[in-house]
Structure 1
Amino acid sequence: MNVADQITEVAKLFPHKRSVVATDGKDRFGKYRYVHYTFEQLESKINQFSNALVDVGVKKGDKALLFVKPCLDFSALVFALFKVGAVPVLIDPGMGRKPFLRALESCGPRIMIGIPKAHVLRRLFPKVFKSVEIYLNYGNKSFLGAKSILALSSNKSQSFESVEVEANELGAILFTSGGTGRPKGVEYTHDIFISQTKALKEEFKLTKEDVDCPGFPLFAMFTLSMGMTSCIPDMDPSRPSEACPKSLEKIIKDQSVTFAAGSPAIWKNLGEYCVSENILLPTLRSLVMFGAPISIELHELFSKALPNGDTFTPYGATESLPVANAMGSAVLERKEQIRSGKGVYLGRPLSSVDVKVIADVEEAIESISDIKELPNNEIGEFLVKSRTTTKGYYQMPEKTKLAKVYDGESVWHRMGDVGHKDEDGNLWFLGRKAHKIVHEEKSHYSISIESIFNQHPEVEKSALISKEVPSIAIQRKDASISLTKAQANLFLNELLEIGKKYGHTKDFEQFYLCSKFPVDVRHNIKIDRKRLGEMKLERLR
């Protein structure tokens, strides 16, 4: 089944229901104006784009770059590419220029659809775009030799028969953020997208009556396929930490949003704003946060702002998602365990997902018969398998070999995360495998150690770093790195006292100050430990 067929089916069932909603400026009273497509209109738009793509020479299997900001037409363009059998290549432009250009060059796209700024980029870096043969501009006019996809599609037929695809045929290439190395192109099939849609629908009990606000643009693909209305937030998705909470509140209330998903950096702003202004969001039933460990404090904020809902923290990776899911209320019930270093509570794996905790090894594991599965409460690497588990990285056989474990016809994915499973089958996350520090034959895990020093009331966040010995970098809430001798002495002694209360942190004696930790570009909240390790930090003495 072609992914785009899901929209065709929904359009037949609910032709006049709103599909995509977007803001269209504000009126003189400062209130948002909105525009929308019905599902019938969305299907027609997809078909017009599909006919235009075929007419300019797009063929089944062509890889297509899409550089278009979230708008009414974003989802229509994605589904049109699927419908003609092309392979959308989705790269986060916020990942940084060098990794972005390397990712782009590695996939050899033939098609490029982009806003004018993207076409300026191809003129600046022609070698990177050398494989592209067909350029299309998302705008009303041609630009730098790229024809307007809007003009080309305006008079096309509103009917189009989707190209048949095999279940395991390459459907899209989605790039990882590259948080622990070079960004990798994850190979998605049409079947994986359809299976993810089904898993998310079942896990969050979503129906066509729900209304979505996707902080992560691609999430709309899933909710639209379920027949939900998707309301595009007024924000730059490449800068989630800069999202305006007042605008988010207005959209959620104006559109009676019941389901919202995205980076915790988005929702942190909204939560703090709601609590400080005594604002409630009564329609919001599910607030889904992913991309980084979620603080207890963020769950607590929304326990006050969501009278009829809860927060959710689904666990997974681009290579396999969703894996597990935890409700905020369940996290708060375990906050003392979390603060004492047990890890981040991930909840139980979904019923359709198999998870093993295996001995942490650096080399590739060829077969499932070669793993050493660990018992409950022992720390190891998470190994997962489901219908949403991807089988490889695009043109990266060595990376694929390291990440995949073969089990007959099926494939397990090594998550690169370490943690453990408790007696009740719940998963606990202790950090990225790449962030583990081994010193004198003892393993130190980032999350379990940082949760201890984060208890200090003046600590905004802490990070396990490697110096001569395992050490802790501290970002204070006041961002200060210039303390008086007396202040530094007091702060250091307080940190040492906190550390001595726990067996796994009692030996930490070296602390460093950083005014502001560097963070990842995709979610704007995960600590960029590579950059932090390269920074000159002030030793706390």
Structure 2
Amino acid sequence: MKSVIGRETSIGQRGDERVNIASRLADSAATYPNKPAVILAARGGRAARVVTFAELDREATAYAAGLRRIGLQAGMRVIVMVKPGPEFFALTFALFRVGAIPVLIDPGMGRKNLAQCLAGVRARAFIGIPLAHVFRLMHATAFRDLRVKVTVGRRLFWAGVTLADIRDADCQSFIPADTRATDPAAILFTSGSTGPAKGVIYEHGMFAAQVDYLARHYQYAPEETDLATFPLFALFDAALGMTAVIPDMDASRPGTADPRKILDAIETHECTHMFGSPALLTNLARHCVANNVRISGLRRIITCGAPAPARLLRSLTECAPNASIHTPYGATECLPITDISADEILRDTAKKTANGGGVCVGRPLPGMAVRVIDISDEPIRDESAMPLARPGAIGEIVAHGPTTTREYFDAPVATQRAKIPASDGGVWHRMGDVGWIDDNGRVWFCGRKAHRVQTADGVMFSVPCEQVFLSHPGVARVALVGVGPIGAQRPVLCVEVAKSASGDRGALTRELLAIAAKFEHTRVIRDVLYHPSFPVDVRHNAKIRREDLAIWAAGKLRA
């Protein structure tokens, strides 16, 4: 057993090196000028819209010149609320070229939380669709620092200019900002699945390192086409020279995507690659199995955001027989860290997962280092003070490498708690997850640190406990929560019943408690509650919001 893994590589840039991630789009345009860069799939009676790499590059430069002309400068924070599509791609790369800092956030987190997060950014510019400007006006105090307002589409009664107004066709003389590897490139908000959403500061060098990792690890071919179901990941497509197909779906609610529309986009545009949350892929796989559909053209499927159950991976293997399926591990603050294939999971680790070993997320990518330290909720001074967990023990996962972000925006307390200064001048990021490392150097994910249940008999970790119940055919999802004071919590198993299950809850409860009794780490569970539909995160619709379930369970037990 190990508690330290990882090795160095050449990926990453020196802090003083000139790097602007927008140059990767220019490289793609020079290499593949006539290749489609973005395809907005047909929707609502409208035909598909196709933009080539050369066109996307020209639009990004035209927008960059126009944005600079109306006052945007390097270092200026700019809120971007634009739907996935050619404008979103062009605007984001335009802001990179100006040296401005796009602020990207999940709109599905709720208006109050959205306004609160954006107020803290103190942005000087706002670029959004008309509905986004209506939201801005409804929460005017959150945007009091704005100086520039750009509407993508028709501007109604509010001040500012439209995207069409600022587009500068005569932009040949535009010179991109002279940015360095450590200069801020963007602020990306976390999903807020275990606490308030935080703005993560990305640097140009970090984005470049992520692109390099993806290109080297997944070996993308020049002719590849990606079904882009997650807008932020889709931005990498332009930097990789890969066509991004935007399907007809609500990107803020991937779990509601119509599998027929997803399949239509894959088949019509001959997609070879797909990134999707477990929630989206579960619906897609269920539809394919029920209708005997095979997606033979896919070469690769990547899923992350929450552990992908073995039964989902089996279904995907059946539905997409020619695809290599991967489940990388990481977070907004540090991605990617590890990777593992579905083949390895189903062949070698799924049985241990079903018996309570956690979910294997694979080995660190070259240049990424992972350690497991003793669990603590206190800040850690520096790398020398990190208390390594004993080999094979479950502890807190920390990661370090070229893609590890350094800080949260204007949140020194959160930064101090999550970041540990490293001896090489970088930082270790405390993932907020718990897990362990096996003798083969693989990381096993055991849940969120905040989700551990601290009983009078010891600590129970969510994922190892929950996984033993997923073999029951009457169970769709389960979640372990703690009710009561820390150190004396009562473990409660919350269950979302499978649609095919019988209505006899008493029999199901007895069967689940019988499963609990078979394992040392679950035998103290005495309470089983049934929830109609688990609350989930807004980004992937896959992370279970156990904090909300714990409050619900406490109310049920009091009733």
Q: Which moved more, 1:507-516 or 1:145-154?
A: 145-154
Distance 1:140 1:100, change over 3 A: closer
Q: 2:151 matched to 1:137?
A: yes
2:69 aligned with 1:52: no
* In 2: Cα distance, 1:509 partner to 1:51 partner: 64
How far apart, CA to CA, are the structure 2 residues paired with 1:398 and 1:70? 33
Mapped partners of 1:312, 1:467: distance in 2 = 35
**Correspondence for 2:541 among 500, 524, 531:** 524
Per-residue Cα deviation, 1:40-72 (whole angstroms, up to 9, x for no partner): 111110011011101111111110000000112
Counterparts of 1:179 and 1:423 in 2: how far apart (Å)?
Answer: 31
Residue by residue over 1:188-247, the C-alpha shift from the partner in whole angstroms, topping out at 9 and shown as x without a partner, is 000000000000111111132211111111112212111111111111100111111111
Is contact 1:184–1:393 with CA below 8 Å preserved after alignment? yes
1:141 Cα offset (Å): 4.7
Indicate which of 319, 332, 346 corresponds to 1:318. 332
| TM-superposition CA deviations, 1:3-32 (whole Å, max 9, x none) | 1111112212221122111124477xxxx8
What does residue range 223-242 of structure 1 map to in structure 2 within 5 Å?
Answer: 223-242=237-256
2:523 paired residue among 506, 515, 532: 506
SS at match of 1:290: coil
- Aligned position for 2:436: 420
* Aligned-CA RMSD value: 1.9
What are the within-5 Å matches in structure 2 for residues 136-535 of structure 1?
Answer: 136-141=150-155, 144-153=158-167, 155-157=169-171, 160-333=174-347, 334-408=349-423, 409-468=425-484, 469-478=490-499, 487-535=504-552
- Superposed displacement of residue 33, structure 1: 3.1
Q: Please tell me the residue identity of whatever aligns with 1:524.
A: N
CA 1:276 to 1:479, structure 2 compared with 1: closer, same or farther past 3 Å?
Answer: closer
- Matched position secondary structure for 2:353: helix
**Letter in structure 2 aligned against 1:211:** T
Determine the C-alpha separation between the residues in 2 that align with 1:539 and 1:402.
34
Is this contact kept in 2: 1:141–1:151, CA < 8 A? no
Please report how far the alpha carbon of residue 34 of structure 1 lies from its aligned counterpart in structure 2 after TM superposition. 2.2
- For 2:363 and 2:20, the matched residues in 1 are separated by 31
Corresponding position: 1:14 with 2:29: no
**SS of alignment partner, residue 231 of structure 1:** strand
Contact 1:19-1:42 at 8 Å conserved across structures: yes
- Once the two structures are TM-superposed, the CA of residue 441 in structure 1 deviates from its matched residue by 4.9
Contact 1:44–1:159 (CA under 8 A) maintained in structure 2: no
Cα displacement string for residues 247-302 of structure 1 (whole angstroms, at most 9, x for unaligned residues): 11111111111111132211111111111111111111111111111111110111
Provide, for residues 302-360 of structure 1, a one-character-per-residue CA deviation record: whole Å limited to 9, x for no partner: 11111211221110000000000111111112221111111111011111200011111
Query: How much has 1:458 moved relative to structure 2?
Result: 1.2
Q: In structure 2, what residue type is equivalent to 1:347?
A: G
In structure 1, what residue type is equivalent to 2:60? I
Amino acid at match of 2:120: S
Kindly tell me: are residues 142 and 516 of structure 1, through their superposed partners in 2, closer, same or farther at Cα, counting changes over 3 Å? Answer: closer
If the length of structure 2 is used for normalisation, what is the TM-score? 0.92
What is the alpha-carbon distance in structure 2 between the residues aligned to residue 357 and residue 6 of structure 1?
A: 35
Cα shift readout 1:354-406 (whole Å, capped 9, x = no counterpart)? 00111111111011111122243211011100100000000000110111111
Instruction: State the match for 1:37 in structure 2.
Output: 51
Segments of 4+ moved more than 3 angstroms: 24-27, 140-143, 478-481, 536-541
Distance in 2 (CA, whole Å) between partners of 1:473 and 1:12 is 54
| 8 Å contact from structure 1 (residues 211, 258) kept in 2 | yes
Query: 1:449-499 deviations in whole A, cap 9, x for unaligned?
Result: 111222222121111111251121112124999x6xxx4442222112111
In structure 2, C-alpha distance between the alignment counterparts of 1:494 and 1:521, rounded to whole Å = 32
Identity, % of aligned positions = 36
SS at match of 1:287: strand
SS at match of 2:360: strand
Q: Residue in 1 aligned with 2:13?
A: none
Deviation at 1:97, TM superposition (A): 2.0
User: For structure 2, which runs of at least 5 residues remain unmatched after alignment?
Assistant: 1-18, 485-489
Q: State how far apart, in whole Å, the 1-side matches of 2:173 and 2:154 are.
A: 22
Structure 1: which 5+ runs fail to align? none
> Normalised by the size of structure 1, how large is the TM-score?
0.95
Give the stretch that moved more between structures: 229-238 or 383-392. 229-238
When the two structures are aligned, how many residues end up with a matched partner?
533
- Separation of aligned partners in 2, 1:210 and 1:511: 47
Matched, 1:5 2:20: no
